[in-house]
Structure formats: C-alpha cells, structure tokens
Structure 1
Amino acid sequence: MKVDFLAIGAHPDDVELGCGGTLAKLISEGKKVAIVDLTRGELGTRGTDETRAEEAKNASEILGISYRENLGMNDGFLNNSQEYQMQIVKMIRKYQPEILFANAILDRHPDHAKAAKLVSDACFLAGLKKIETELDGNSQEVWRPKQIFHYIQWKDITPDFVYDISAFMDKKIEACLAYKTQFYDPKSTEPVTPIATKDFLESLTYRAQDLGRLSGVEFAEGFTTEKLLAFKNFDGIVC
C-alpha cells in the first residue's frame, strides 16, 4: 500500500481545502496519494459525521485518491498523546510516503495546530526502530517521510514555497464542494458558519490567485516546511 504522498487532516475537508489542487496535480502525474482524516468532524455545526463520511468519499473520487481512512479521534479534543501518536505512526508505516502533508501550524480551529504538532511528532517516532508496531497482525517496517509540508488554512500564513495548481483549480473547488453540508449553499436552512459563507467560498479562488500572482503563475497553494529545502537542480522553477 505504499504511496508517494500522504495527506493528513484533523477533519474531513481539511486536506481538500488546504492542498486539494496539489493532490489533484500529483495524481495526474501518476503519483499515488492517500488521505488520513484524524476525526470524523462530529462537532461540526452543519451536517453529521455520517454525511461527512459520504462527502469525503465523494471528494476522494473526484481527486482520484488511492486510499482514504478515518482514525476516529475525538473532534475538538485532539491532543499529543502517546495513544494518538501511535495511531499515526501505524499509518505512516502502512503507507510509507516520501512526502507528508499536514495541517497548518497555526489556525483558527485549535485542532489544526494540534494536529500539525501531533503528526510532526509521529513522523519522528515512526522512524525509530525500537518502537515496534503491528497492523492486522503483521509487524511493520520503520519508516520516516523525507519531508513534512504544512498546508495553509484559515490564517494568512506566509508560505515557504508555493505549488502551481493553475490547471487544477477547478478540480480543487469541485472536491471542496463535495462537502455539500459544510460550505455556502443559498438554499440551505442550516446555521451559517464562518466557512459556510459566500465570502469564504470565493476566498479559495482569490487566495490561490494571489499566491499565483506573487509567484508568476495563475493559481498556487502555499506550504510551510519544517526542514530546509535543498534543490538538486533548478528544473521546474517558474521565472
């Protein structure tokens, strides 16, 4: 079940909002991608954990995700505990990603920053050979991703780099809108939340457009990195 990229989000829809365009582009290039959602999003004002699960399934089909699973951690109460760390260690060793995408390091929802640290610590632990894990009765190999990149969510964080998603902006929006209960719908009778406004929906486009403007492309998604990036060559850099 090895994949090239693993994207982890505190809630179903975090990944699509933060790096959906990036994943769509990588998949179009033949890369294998898996998503792991930490919680079911059961505390969300709109929808239910059942509708979120169905929406996540639909979004995954839109993007072409190879594997997706939900760890069922407690929404709103994520913590950097050994129990939660070990669950993520097992996922990292199961999928053996080269690159891992995780939540924003600072954000409006407290679960996001907590998930960022939780995943980062789990990545380190997953590479320690004296930590032994089993999955489905089989011993797991030690594995540590080469890089952890944190996508940007609500807060306006300055990225360390951006990724050109110009040809995949529509696919990102389509995947986000698969979460019909969560985002702007003028016909909905559910309570209005900060992410269920027309302005928030439009911000997905204009924020990506602004990052593109600054970097010389049409649309881009931004990331922060925990480790200094090294280039082997300058191929692919937009001038």
Structure 2
Amino acid sequence: MRSAPSVLAIFAHPDDAELSCFGTLAALAAAGSEVHVLTLTTGARSVSPLAADRVREATAAAALVGVTLIVEDFADGRVETVGETFTVVERHLRELRPDVVVTHYSSPHFGDDHQDHQVTGRVATTLAKRMSFVRLVLHAEPPVVVSGFTPNLFVNVTETVEKKLAAIAQYQSEAAKPYMREEAVLARGRFWAMQAKFYDPEEGNYYESFQLVKARMTNPGFLLGLTGGHDRGVRRDRSA
C-alpha cells in the first residue's frame, strides 16, 4: 500500500501546471508522492517564436521538482469536448490510478479563459469524479482572473516556491508574458497567503490556491498529510 498519495495533474499546455500548482506538486513529490503531469498539447501554437521549445522546457521543469511528464499531441488551441479527449484522459487515469487529480478551473463563462483550459478542466473533472480510486479532485488557480474561481483550499508553498520559480524560468519561450515573470508569481503567492490567513497574515509566506471539487476521506490522516498539519505545508505523515 502506498504511504503517500499519488497525484495526476491534467493540464492543457506546458507551463500551465507550473504556474498553477508546481509549489504543491514539488512538496508532494519531496514527501514521497508519485506525481505525474499530463499535458494534452505541446503548446506549439503559442505566439512565441520559440514555441517549439516548450516540450523540452517542460521536461526540464518536471525534472527540477521530481515529477513525471506525459505529453499528448492534441492540437494546441483546438482541444475539444469529444470522445477522443475523454478516451485519452480516461486511459491515463485508469493506468495511473491517482489518489488526487488536479486540473484547470472550468469557468461557467466559457470566454473567461483559454478554450483549451476550459475543455481540459471539464473533461478531467467529469472523469475523475466518476472514478472510485480518486479521493480528491482539485481545480487549480487560473493564470488570469476568471469569473467564479473561489478557492477554499490553500497550500503553504513557502518551502518550495524557489523550485516553482526555477521550473517557470525554464520557459524562455514564454518569458515575455507578464504572468511568467518572477515578481508576478511571487505577488500571487503573497496574495493567496493573505487570503489563507486573512486575520493573521504570515509575512514572507507564499501559498497556492485550489477549489475543492470532490473529497472522499476514509482516513482523516490522509487529509492531514495533504495539508501538512499546523500550516507547515504538504508533508508525509510517517507515523501513519
């Protein structure tokens, strides 16, 4: 039996997971979790002239934090809610049997975010909610402000934020985009830290935020292991 939860993060493009939840994934990987990142496209249609480098950059980013990268070849910008998308995502879910699935937040207003993000999040969420082995489904924070994202789970990633920054820095192809800049990433982390402890803000701490979609807890220690207990981030409970 696994002593740490296994995780599958399902995102549309290289760099989506890094921006949204790589601090949390890095902490889980360091605590002994088996962490996979499934990217449905290569991101080849980015406006960047270096878009062809994104898979190489994603591979380097994954190696930095100790997660396994899987890249599919759906057309960038044209991921659709069709049978093939469901089939591919379901295959990875059944092969990996993760305890935790993290994916894009799906706004009810389809134009709020990139169309690939919306479709990927909806497909992954629909499938993960049906599968009995998935105990936790989370929507990660979008890279831009969208309607309806109301996070109710906050993870302290202060100890892994440097790894997150190093992973994002691998994407020289996307470096010109404002939300890829280090100061933007840190500002988001500080903002979520304030939201997580609004009446008792933690100076110098960084958080990532999630919207809880599904949680099935047969052992309360599983939840403690995810949150780390006493606001110390994500860690493995070795006494369990």
**Taking structure 2 as the reference length, what is the TM-score of the superposition?**
0.79
Q: Do the aligned residues in 2 keep the contact of 1:160 with 1:223 (CA within 8 Å)?
A: yes
* Match in the other structure for 1:24: 26
1:177 aligns with 2:169: yes
Q: Secondary structure at the match of 1:150?
A: strand
Structure 1 residue aligned with 2:213, among 215, 226, 233?
226
**Structure 2 unaligned spans of 5+:** 233-240
Structure 2 residue aligned with 1:11, among 10, 13, 31?
13
CA distance in 1, matches of 2:141, 2:49: 24
Q: Do the aligned residues in 1 keep the contact of 2:168 with 2:180 (CA within 8 Å)?
A: no
Q: Do the aligned residues in 1 keep the contact of 2:13 with 2:43 (CA within 8 Å)?
A: yes
Which structure 2 residues correspond to residues 69-108 of structure 1 after superposition, within 5 A? 69-106=70-107, 107-108=112-113
CA distance in 1, matches of 2:29, 2:49: 29
Q: Secondary structure at the match of 1:8?
A: strand
RMSD across aligned C-alpha pairs, in angstroms? Answer: 2.5
1:30 Cα deviation after fit: 1.3
Q: Do the aligned residues in 1 keep the contact of 2:135 with 2:215 (CA within 8 Å)?
A: no
* Amino acid in the other structure paired with 2:7: F
CA distance in 2, matches of 1:176, 1:199: 7
**Taking structure 1 as the reference length, what is the TM-score of the superposition?**
0.79
Q: Secondary structure at the match of 2:231?
A: coil
1:197 aligns with 2:198: no
CA distance in 1, matches of 2:179, 2:85: 35
Distance 1:113 1:70, change over 3 A: same
CA distance in 2, matches of 1:27, 1:174: 16
Give the % identical residues.
23
Q: Secondary structure at the match of 1:167?
A: coil
CA distance in 2, matches of 1:88, 1:114: 12
1:42 aligns with 2:23: no
* Match in the other structure for 1:113: 118
CA distance in 2, matches of 1:199, 1:168: 17
CA distance in 2, matches of 1:169, 1:93: 31
1:48 Cα deviation after fit: 4.5
* Amino acid in the other structure paired with 1:150: H
Deviation sequence 1:20-61 (CA, Å, 0-9, x none): 100111111111101110011111001445301110111011
Distance 1:85 1:63, change over 3 A: same
CA distance in 2, matches of 1:197, 1:229: 37
* Amino acid in the other structure paired with 1:232: P
Runs of 4+ in 1 over 3 A off after TM superposition: 47-50, 198-201, 228-231
Q: Do the aligned residues in 2 keep the contact of 1:59 with 1:178 (CA within 8 Å)?
A: yes
- The structure that is helix-richer by fraction is 2
**Structure 1 unaligned spans of 5+:** 128-142, 185-195
1:148 aligns with 2:137: yes
